[in-house]
Structure 1
Amino acid sequence: MAVTDEAILRIKEMILAGELAPGDRLPPEKELSERLGLSRSSLREAVKALEVIRVLDVRRGDGTYVTSLEPRLLLEAMSFVVDLHDDQSVLEIFAVRRILEPAASALAARNADEDDLARLREVIESVDHATDVEGLVAHDLEFHRGIADATGNSYLAGLIDSLSSHTVRARIWRGITQEDAVGRTLAEHHAILEAITTGDGELASALTVAHVSGVEQWLRSAL
């Protein structure tokens, strides 16, 4: 288990044991890291992850608090980390995406019109290296949706959109735990769009295989 995951599970145990309740302020970083037997950097990553999923509320200059959600909802929010490690079905979804999305990119390279390409450029230009994890995942979903729409096949677009909606948690977790996930994703999106723009369906397909496989490979190692 990754150190960040371990830190999150330790904090979850504190909530389960009643040591932390909704509205409680977390002990200072140094004290909490020593109490949990973790490095301060690992604890910092865990806090950042739990802030993204709305379990913790980081108030600059004040401290870090457990959100006001009732314990049941807090634990449900945290359970997605455990679910991600236990649920093999998400790997099957990525395997299907790896089949469908390269075909969609190749089809988009043949069928995309200027409006489709302008929309994809706009999606890419809406984010940069300063974008947070939630913004990156929203961008990723929109980019792949734009490619699917550009195929001109509404049924294929619907299938891809439905599959993508089931991989949001995995994408968020990758964005939190993998170094430079934002930079890597943007570079890959730029390359795919360039291939689609030049009408090179074979290259667009190959780049999309590499793009989707990268997330799938990371997920396999995480599981």
Structure 2
Amino acid sequence: MFVRGRTVPVTDEAINKIKAMIVQGELTPGSRLPREADLADRLGLSRNSLREAVKALSLIRVLDVRQGDGTYVTSLAPDLLLETIGFVVDFHQDDTVLQFLEVRRVLEPAATEMAATRMTDGEVTELRAILAELGDAPTVEALVANDLRFHGHIAAGSGNRVLCSLIDSLSGPTTRARIWRGLTQEGAVRRTREQHEAICEAIEARQPEVARAWATVHVAGVEQWLRNALGEPEEPTTPA
């Protein structure tokens, strides 16, 4: 098959055809695919290429192959499909950590702003309880673990499952940088706790813009520290 002068591999063609069936509503979440021979004939594919396409789509959680039962379309829930991002993220190199922090600086303040208006009173109470779990003199490792739970709870509280899944996928690569900062930068632990408290208070007070501002300061602080530690130039500031 040719598209704009290039050959599309038969497996890609098969993937595209199955994808089209899902997008067009012929196959819906939870539905079972027709028998392999029937589907291959219907789509004009070899059974081999269809088999490879099914294998590829099962790896990215679009299809669920159940031995002895058949192949089904998964729920297609965002958190399920975005799990594959976490797999890709796991292969990051140390020199890309800054890029992950830059993405966090874009996404987490937005999630925090949304959480300030969408979190239930019970969820806010749980957020406060997460902060209260730390003792007066936590280790850096305990603080970072608490930090991950704190931000994960806020992301979930945004009410946006796609945003929550993206933030969760991006948390891993920055964990070591957070620990490194806590061990080497004077006052980092104290500042982290103060900023968490300020974020929590803004969410409790239902002040989305303040919550967003504190979240930006919080993530940007880690990013700027890492830039300095790596000898990277500071980002240019945007004129007011």
TM-score for the superposition, normalised by structure 1: 0.60
Aligned to 1:167, the other structure's residue is in SS state: helix
Q: What stretches of structure 1 of length at least 5 have no aligned partner?
A: 1-85
1:182 CA displacement: 1.5
- 1: distance between equivalents of 2:135 and 2:198? 15
- After TM superposition, list the pairs within 5 Å mapping 1:158-177 onto structure 2: 158-177=165-184
Identify the residue that residue 146 of structure 2 maps to in structure 1.
Answer: 139
Corresponding residue to 1:213 among 220, 228, 238 = 220
1:124 aligns with 2:135: no
Identify the residue that residue 100 of structure 1 maps to in structure 2.
Answer: 107
- 2: distance between equivalents of 1:88 and 1:201? 33
Counterpart of 1:186, as a letter, is: R
- 1: distance between equivalents of 2:111 and 2:95? 25
Counterpart of 2:185, as a letter, is: Q
- After TM superposition, list the pairs within 5 Å mapping 1:48-127 onto structure 2: 87-127=94-134
1:197 aligns with 2:204: yes
Could you give the per-residue CA deviations for residues 93-122 of structure 1, whole angstroms, max 9, x where no partner exists?
000000000000100011010121011101
Identify the residue that residue 163 of structure 2 maps to in structure 1.
Answer: 156
Give aligned-pair identity as a percent.
51
- 2: distance between equivalents of 1:189 and 1:95? 19
Q: Judge conservation of contact 1:145–1:157 (CA < 8 Å) in 2.
A: yes
Aligned to 2:138, the other structure's residue is in SS state: coil
Counterpart of 2:186, as a letter, is: E
- 2: distance between equivalents of 1:113 and 1:98? 24
Q: Judge conservation of contact 1:129–1:183 (CA < 8 Å) in 2.
A: no
- 2: distance between equivalents of 1:125 and 1:132? 15
1:133 CA displacement: 0.9
1:129 CA displacement: 3.8
1:165 CA displacement: 1.2
Q: Judge conservation of contact 1:141–1:164 (CA < 8 Å) in 2.
A: yes
- 2: distance between equivalents of 1:175 and 1:161? 21
Q: What stretches of structure 2 of length at least 5 have no aligned partner?
A: 1-92, 231-240
Looking at both structures, which has the greater relative contact order when contacts are Cα pairs under 8 Å and sequence separation is at least 6? 1
Could you give the per-residue CA deviations for residues 176-207 of structure 1, whole angstroms, max 9, x where no partner exists?
10112221101000000111111111110011
Q: How many residues align?
A: 138
1:179 aligns with 2:178: no
Counterpart of 1:182, as a letter, is: V
- 2: distance between equivalents of 1:128 and 1:185? 14
Q: Judge conservation of contact 1:97–1:163 (CA < 8 Å) in 2.
A: yes
- 1: distance between equivalents of 2:186 and 2:130? 22
1:87 CA displacement: 2.8
Q: Judge conservation of contact 1:129–1:182 (CA < 8 Å) in 2.
A: no
- 1: distance between equivalents of 2:126 and 2:171? 19
